[in-house]
Each structure stands twice: as structure tokens, then as C-alpha cells.
Amino acid sequence: MTTPFPTLEVPAPALVVPAVGTLLNTFEPVPTDDPHWELGYHFPTWGSCIAAFAWGPCSGVLRRAGSGSTTVEAVPFTVYAPFRCSTFGTGGELGEYEAAARDALRSVGGQQLELELWAGALAAQNGWPNRFLANDTATQIGGGATMPWPVALALLQKELRDCMGDDAGVIHASAALVSLWQMAGAVREVDGVLRDVYGNFVIAGSGYSGGAPRVSQQWNLTPGGSGGTFRLTVTSPITGESEQTAAIAYNASANDVAAALLALSILDVGDVEVVVGPPHEIHFIGAWAGQAVTVTYQSSVTGGDWTLTEAVPGGSVVTWGEEWAFGTGMLDVRVGEVQVIDPENGHSIDRTTNTVELIAQATMSATWDCCHVAVKATIADGCTFPAQVD
């Protein structure tokens, strides 16, 4: 008889807090003792923002414009982490499963927060005032020209010094770009967090895509024909729902086209504007700005035809070998109390399948006070490092 090898119970490895991520690499989240912050909050910009200074009208001496001269607003949102685990071999009590669900939220919560901080999908969809990195409000260094990755970091550092003075800012970039900066020695771990030589915090968020600042998509509609009508079919980039306009006359004005589009239930006022042409320019803005909107043309026009062309693509597209990075003032990060929800109303343990199902959730928000710059870097020559002097 063969004796099987004994099975040993090995303890789980200790969690090591990485020196990356929005929740880990800046500072402790702002205390959230006031429950009303979850309905929305605002705060004055940090006094060190150069924009908060102004020349005195009489003395000509640089003076503070006063705290509260600029106010930042934000609307928090809820982050979820579903947790499902087999009960076989665990021997855990419900409290242990709840603790595991909380660990799951800590693992993915920062990533979800960073996805929103970078792309602003919820802010755009709901019309929130939240700042997000890939907004078209970012000042693009060099007009958006592609820079070598060491130069990109240097330019971000200069812009933050110009904006923040001697105070630290935050550099946001994908893990690929931050890895190159680290290997070149330009970014190092200091006291458990990543910082550059000027003391700026460097965040390599797992939710940071490296995507470009959003642009407002533009379609050009050129009139033609001598009779008949045409229709436009628009697909929402948010819900995926498609809807067709009523018939539009062959001699329609820009206002007529705008009225037909705004009559669609999937579009709200402020999501589209039509600029008088020809060609008439259809701009998707508001909640649809920075989105890839699909528009198709169906014609019953006689004696010629209208033409529809996409003049400016929407959305933030990352080209292989290129990454965007952003610089901002210090982050204001808020995290509410983590709650564990039993989706089955007291029956979280399914004994027919021997599994436990829970959902952990928390209200979060991340924004910044001042400064918002962007730079596009090439990482295609990532194996060519600058010379280092010891």
C-alpha cells in the first residue's frame, strides 16, 4: 500500500502594500466623518497654486488672492467588488467571508477609482463637475506632439514647477511609462511611494490606460439634391441603443438638422450642436464628448444627394508605442466606509452549490485642486536609456 504524501496547510502570504496606485501612493484618504459628503462636496484650491496669486493693484507686490478664490466640486460614486468562494476546505465562518470580500474591494477598488479618474465615463454620462485626466481641458504640452519618454517626464516636471512653485504635484501615467522612468532612475521609491527628483508623486494606476485627452467628435453633413428627404441613425456610445430621426428635408438648415437630432430620446440638450455650413458640422459634446458615436445616413433625396463624413474621430485611442501622461496638483481622495452586502437577503451561503456570495462596496472620489497638463510620449525606443552618471 502506497502512503500518500501528507497535505500541509500553508498560511497565505502577507499582503505587501505596493508603492503604486491612487489610494496608496499619495496620502491617507480624507477623513469622511460627515456622511453628507457622499451627496457631493466642494473645497477651495490649495493655496500654493500659482493661479491663486495675483499682483497687488497698488504695491505691485505678489500677494495671495485669498483662499477659496477657486472652488473644486466633485460627486462621489460607488465602487463594487463581488465575492464568490467555495465553502469546501475553508471551514470559515461568515465573518471570515465578509473579511475576504473587503479584501477583494481593496484589491480592485483603487483600479475602478482610477478608471474614472482617467477617463471620466461616469462624469460625462451624468453631467457631474468631476475633474478627470483625459478631459479636453488639459493643456497639451507641445500641442500634442510626441516626445521621447525621458523628455516627456522632464516637460511634465517643468509644467508642475511653473504651476505649483516649490510644492509637490502628481504625475499620472500607465505602468509601462512609469517602468521606463524607474529603470532610468528618474523615479524612485521614497518612504514607500514613488516620487521624482522634485518630490512629485508618481502614480502608475492599474486603471490608468495611457489614453489621450478626449476630443469632441465631428461629422460633416454636406447638402445636395433638389428634392426628397433623408434620415440619420445615431447609436449612443453610452447605452448602445440606436435611434433614427424623422425625415429631414433636402434643403434643411443646420437648425433643422439640430432639431431632428435633439428630438431623439437618446440625446439630451447639450449633447449635440450643429454649426452652420456647408458642410454643416455635427459636434457631439456634453455627456457624449470624447465618445465614439456611430452615425449612418439613409437617403430618399432626389436630383443628387447629401454626404456624411466623419471629420474628427471621437474617443481616446492609444496607438501602440505611444502613451499619454498627465500632471496635476495634489489629489483629494475620499473613501467612505466599506459595506458588505448579502445579495440573497440572509442566505449568502448557497448550500446547494456550497458557495458563499457577497458584495463589498464603498463610496469613493478622487479629484485635484489645480494644474492640468498632458504630454504624449513614445515608448517604442524603450530599450534606449539615457546615460547615467554614478
Q: Which residue has the higher pLDDT, 98 or 282?
A: 282
Average pLDDT of the segment spanning 133-150: 90
Going by pLDDT thresholds of 50, 70 and 90, the confidence category of residue 317 is low
The answer to which of 108-117, 138-147, 348-357 has the lowest mean pLDDT is 348-357
User: Does 197 share its domain with 71?
Assistant: no
Residue 28 counted as domain residue: no
User: Does 228 share its domain with 87?
Assistant: no
Q: Which helix (H) or strand (E) holds 150?
A: helix 149-164
Give CA–CA dist 354/320, Å, rounded. 45
Give CA–CA dist 202/189, Å, rounded. 9
Cell of 264: 431623439
> Mean pLDDT of all residues in the chain?
79
Structurally, the chain folds into a number of domains equal to 3
What is the maximum span of the chain, computed from C-alpha positions, in angstroms?
100
Average pLDDT of the segment spanning 296-300: 93
Query: Which domain range does residue 73 map to?
Result: 35-130+330-368
Average pLDDT of the segment spanning 132-140: 89
189-242 pLDDT tens trace: 888 889 999 999 999 988 898 888 877 778 999 999 999 999 999 998 878 899
pLDDT above 90 (res 186): yes
Residue 103 counted as domain residue: yes
User: Does 202 share its domain with 323?
Assistant: yes
What pLDDT sits at residue 347? 55
Beta-carbon-side half-sphere exposure of residue 244 (alpha carbons within 13 Å): 9
User: Does 198 share its domain with 65?
Assistant: no
Three-state SS across 124-153?
HHHCCCCCCCCCCCCEEHHHHCEEEHHHHH
Report which of 135, 108, 107, 137 is spatially closest to residue 123, judged by C-alpha positions.
135
User: Does 184 share its domain with 324?
Assistant: yes
User: Does 54 share its domain with 103?
Assistant: yes
User: Does 114 share its domain with 74?
Assistant: yes
User: Does 195 share its domain with 253?
Assistant: no
What pLDDT sits at residue 24? 64
3-state SS class at 158: helix
Whether 80 and 338 have beta carbons less than 8 Å apart is answered as no
pLDDT above 80 (res 384): no
Whether 218 and 311 have beta carbons less than 8 Å apart is answered as yes
What is the chain's Cα-based Rg? Answer: 26
Residue 348 counted as domain residue: yes
Q: Which residue has the higher pLDDT, 333 or 107?
A: 333
Residue 14 counted as domain residue: no
Cell of 267: 440625446
What pLDDT sits at residue 343? 56
User: Does 344 share its domain with 285?
Assistant: no
Give CA–CA dist 301/228, Å, rounded. 4
7-61 pLDDT tens trace: 444 454 454 445 577 776 544 455 556 667 788 887 766 555 655 444 444 444 4
Give CA–CA dist 297/301, Å, rounded. 11
What pLDDT sits at residue 350? 64
Average pLDDT of the segment spanning 289-295: 80
What pLDDT sits at residue 62? 44
Residue 13 counted as domain residue: no
- In whole angstroms, what separates CA 338 from the centre of its chain? 22
